[in-house]
Chain A
Amino acid sequence: MRNHILIILIITLFSLNSKAQSTALGTVSIDLLNEITLLGIKPLGSINFIFSSPITAGSPIINPIPNTSKWINYTSSIANSNTNKRITVHSSEVLPGIDIKIVASPANSSGAGVKGTSSGLITVSAVAQNLITGIKGAYTGNGTNNGHQITISLDVSNYGNLIKLDNKQITITYTITE
């Protein structure tokens, strides 16, 4: 009997010093804390508009063909669900007698998230106006055929103010903001 007690005692002493661990653990953390706000116009490069002279006397100036080559891409993340972002547009100057009009199409199916809503056709001026509103956490995809297609058109709005312009360059600025 005492022999058995001794054996049990020895085993117990070893067990007390044992490491009966069966689970180990580590942590994984991902930091998405920084809100992201990125905007791009694709493809890069300028676009040209040319007004054509009328063929017959008394006819109006022929407006240039609207340009649909540009696409708005954006990436937006938000920390607060109440946050909305918007894209505004303004021009470096206004041409006498000519309206520059811009409309953004609804976002296409590329990307994901809560993409923005087009504000419809706006006449661009030196003052920033909303082009797209209601952007939350979303991305549109990068490049042509992703995001919102932009249609830019130039119309004569006032013949009385028209002046002759050669290679006039105007910068249209798009800004994404809260």
Chain B
Amino acid sequence: MSLTEVSTEEVEPHVAAPVAAPVVPSAGGGGAANDHKAVGGAYLGIALLFLVVGGVLALIMRAQLTSPDSTALTDQQYRSLFTFHGTFSVFLFLIPAWIGVATMVVPLQIGAGRLAFPRLQTMTLWLTVVGAGLVSATPFIQGAKRITTGWALDRPIPEGAAFRGKAIEYLLLGVVVILAAAVAASANLIVTIVKLRAPGLTARRMPLFSWSVLVSGAVLLLALPVLIAIMGMLFVDHHFGAQLFSGFTGSRGGNPEMWQRLFWFGAYPMLWALVLPVLGLASEVIPVFARRPIADRAKALGAMGAIGVLAFFGWGSEVTNLPRSRLFFAAGTLVVLLPVASVLVNWLLTLRAAAKERGAAELREGLASGPMLYVIGIVTVLAAGLAASAFSAIAAGRSYHANYWQIGQQHLMYFAPATLGIAAAAHFWGPKIWGRYLSPTAGKLEALLLAGGAHLAFLPALVLGLQHMPVETSAYTAGDGWQAANVVMTIGTAVFAFGTLVFILDLFFSVVLRRGPEAPADPWSGHTLEWTAPTPLPRHNFDRLPEVRSATPALDLHAAEGELDR
């Protein structure tokens, strides 16, 4: 395509120029239902539903643990809630949420009109719905009361006579369906990013969010099949009376140690893959509001790639019975933190450079806007999570395992940044994708509540970890001395839940009921291609694409328009 031959008459500011679409778009031959914006939105809807469900379960558990000697829930009930809280939050909130955001944003960011396989993404959406149905049905199936083993299904492995009933089979089937859908959706996103990028959008110029999705998709593609396989094997054990994961009973039995090893071999990289898009998102938002490109682009790209690779070297730290390779995996969990820290430092350097260039006062103005406040929240939560992770990596296998330290660390590192990130993504890209701003005032409140709530809820968990409170504790006595931190944790959880509620209401009123103020095509003076598309977005996203000659094509386009005006 010869790009420079376009005459100046054709160049108009993209906001004011509704040009006839060059082709009749059908986005892959499917109906309107295959539009990546709609499919991604539906994914996000499912995810938010299960964020609420998981959150309600968390609140019930917190109510139990707020005071000592609580008898509201039996031990079995508590552990059951604990298991479903984890299962819902990981498999039905975190995974669909990021697939949803990526499905909505990635084609726009790379200047494509669609995903590589639009119908495939719709299929994965419905598979996710089916899986969600199976998992949600589990609590009402016979034998559900005995599913008390945590979301890793390892305390103990649910098989054998003690776990009779079909409930566990529903759970396993549901999760396998969700994971299979996630694998196909990730593959779709990867192909889209590799094959459908706009001309000139080289790998080095790729938007950082799309890059993070590419890396995260590759990790999910390799990690999730391991979980699919072992859950399938556990299903066979349960359904056909096989014994792959139970006792060394001579010729009949399998190997119970295998479960944890294989599970965490898949689940540990998966958790990192769910952090990666948060890093990508923040690396997108910070430069826009700092009004300068990111400090070191090559380092940001490299660091995110490194996280994807190193994520596969720390799984052993989650395995309780792995004496020999302890040191190796401790090193693995530690080393992966370095690129994460590098990305964080990159953000801070970007802000410092912006302050130097334009003065702190002007920078502060940019930082006070909705999406940026979330990102500041993400930075603080991630920093705490990094510190907690480093500490537990160094002390791996000692006393910080299977106690509340683990809960605090995992929530600070994986859960809180992801939740803040999804809210940030809605505020940042919402005006583009849905054509409406989310409420800026509510946004500030949400950011404060979510970030503050996360710190209040999960830092005390670290304290409880130091006091050796076991993960599955369903009740404790006053003599344990755990009450103070538990009370703070409950308050934090409530604050976080309130923040989530405000966010969802905001989303509902501003976007679903369309009460939010209408947004222009480029509300934030964005850097990447999505901001050059018209708002409201046509089905095929772009009528025209600016020539991509740098990592910030939208800025280049504005600059050139400015030159033409003069």
On whether the two chains bind one another, the answer is: no
Residues of B within 8 A of A (CB): none
Interface residues of chain A, those whose CB is within 8 Å of chain B, are: none
